[in-house]
Amino acid sequence: MAVNFSVFEDFATVAGVRLGIAQSAVRYQNRDDMVIFELAEGAEVAGVFTQNAFCAAPVQIAREHLAVQSPRYLLINTGNANAGTGKQGFANARRSCELLAAATGVEASQILPFSTGVIGEPLNMAAFERGIPLALAQLGEDQWARAARGIMTTDTLPKGYSHCFELDGHEVTISGISKGAGMIKPNMATMLGFIATDAQIDKTVLEQWCKRLANASFNRITIDGDTSTNDSCILIATGQSALTITDADSPVAEMLFNELKIAFQLLAQAIVRDGEGATKFVTVEVIEAREQQEALDVAYTVAHSPLVKTAMFASDANWGRILAAVGRAGVANMELDKIQIWLDDVRIVEDGGRCDSYTEAAGAAIFKQSEFTVRIALGRGDVTETIWTTDLSHEYVTINADYRS
């Protein structure tokens, strides 16, 4: 069951984006499993992709196409990742682009393909022959909610965000969807994210922003420490609003960036809240680090520790596991007597040892909450990093043991 999570349904349309959804039976019958984004001519697109060495064929082709053309369509299927499928996988991914190109009159290089699902199985091309015409026939601006469901795999709930606001005297809209629940680790995760705004944003600025936004959101979440083969995050600026951004350092640009950051972070956090088997949503904050990497090393060592995660699941305030994880994070010349650790506002470690005021009852009360923060002060500098993670439950094992059933 998702942790403190409400399904978002009140999507605003983004001028310049139409979506079509189909039941194409890529893997399962009678479920939405193919989504097409149609982008207005002139829209700018930027992307961030998985860093897994075995990145899937559609990821490699999407990168290739994005480097040479302005995309007009995004083609997404669930049920099959088309990863670990060799030369035939590449041929199938290219063929899916060709099918959509032939149906829409654009070049195949103007299509970005995305796949998510089971790894190592051949892509069902008959599903694309069925699904593409069906999805195109249903293109509409108001299909965001159905599209959010159409990209789900082991997700229990669809994930979306939308916000309309005025900036510099102009109306601006941001809408987005994401998917993911397992195989979630930074450098993306088993996740897809598609965020669109009708603002006009210079392509260079958009590319810079997409990387910065991903690093503040989708690259700061982890559920199980596994990095997927198919992760992709796409930022679209259709240019249909009168708001124009050419200077990333302008006050208006900063305000728009912050609005986009809210969208990215909420969509990323929704993935954690819907993590496979999750019963806890946990923020791990590392402060007073000397540099960014050591802050992240500490945060992820804590967040990935099976012992820490199972203690969270059991509501067992076994704080020694957190301390041990900090100690093995690989921080050179760590000064142990400067380490401080809190659970929310309860200090558990002071000057490297158990805090005199700490009680087991106080720690247990925090661990029983469905949402809390582990804050770790290293006493080495002024760098802060934050990530979001979950506990590790019996249900996580069951879900992944039965994944292909």
Question: In CATH, what number is assigned to the domain containing residue 388?
Answer: 3.10.20.340
7 in any annotated domain: no
pLDDT tens, residue by residue, 346-399: 999 999 999 999 999 999 999 999 999 999 999 999 999 999 999 998 887 777
* Residue 397, token pair as written in the block: 């094992």
Given a contact cutoff of 8 angstroms between Cβ atoms, the answer to whether 360 and 317 are in contact is: yes
Average pLDDT of the segment spanning 29-44: 97
Beta bridge mates, 236: 45, 196
Residue of 5, 36, 31, 22 whose CA lies nearest to 152: 31
Residues 365 and 391 in one domain: yes
Q: What letter would DSSP give residue 199?
A: S
Reported pTM: 0.92
pLDDT tens, residue by residue, 94-132: 999 999 999 999 999 999 999 998 889 999 999 999 999
Residues 200 and 171 in one domain: yes
73 in any annotated domain: yes
Residues 217 and 320 in one domain: no
The half-sphere exposure of 43 on its side-chain side, counting CA atoms within 13 A, is: 29
327 in any annotated domain: yes
Reported confidence tier of residue 182, pLDDT bands at 50, 70, 90: low
Residues 153 and 291 in one domain: no
- Percent pLDDT > 90 in the chain is 83
Residues 221 and 147 in one domain: yes
Residues 255 and 165 in one domain: yes
pLDDT number for residue 54: 76
pLDDT tens, residue by residue, 238-258: 999 999 999 999 999 999 999
Which of 216, 245, 273 is where one domain is finished? 273
- Considering its fold, how many domains does the chain have in total? 2
Kindly tell me if the per-residue pLDDT of 286 is higher than 80. Answer: yes
Greatest alpha-carbon span in the chain = 71
Residues 310 and 361 in one domain: yes
pLDDT number for residue 189: 39
pLDDT number for residue 196: 98
- Give dist(CA 32, CA 128) in Å, integer: 13
What size, in residues, is the chain?
405
What positions carry a catalytic annotation?
190
Residues 152 and 33 in one domain: yes
- Give dist(CA 183, CA 275) in Å, integer: 9
For residue 145, the one-letter residue type is A
Residues 293 and 331 in one domain: yes
Residues 259 and 371 in one domain: no
Residues 269 and 331 in one domain: no
Residues 136 and 31 in one domain: yes
- Give dist(CA 347, CA 357) in Å, integer: 8
pLDDT number for residue 48: 92
Could you tell me the residue range of the domain that residue 161 belongs to?
Answer: 17-273
Which of 233, 252, 273 is where one domain is finished? 273
Question: In CATH, what number is assigned to the domain containing residue 234?
Answer: 3.60.70.12
pLDDT number for residue 334: 95
Beta bridge mates, 172: 165
Q: Phi and psi dihedrals of 268, rounded to 5? A: -70, -45
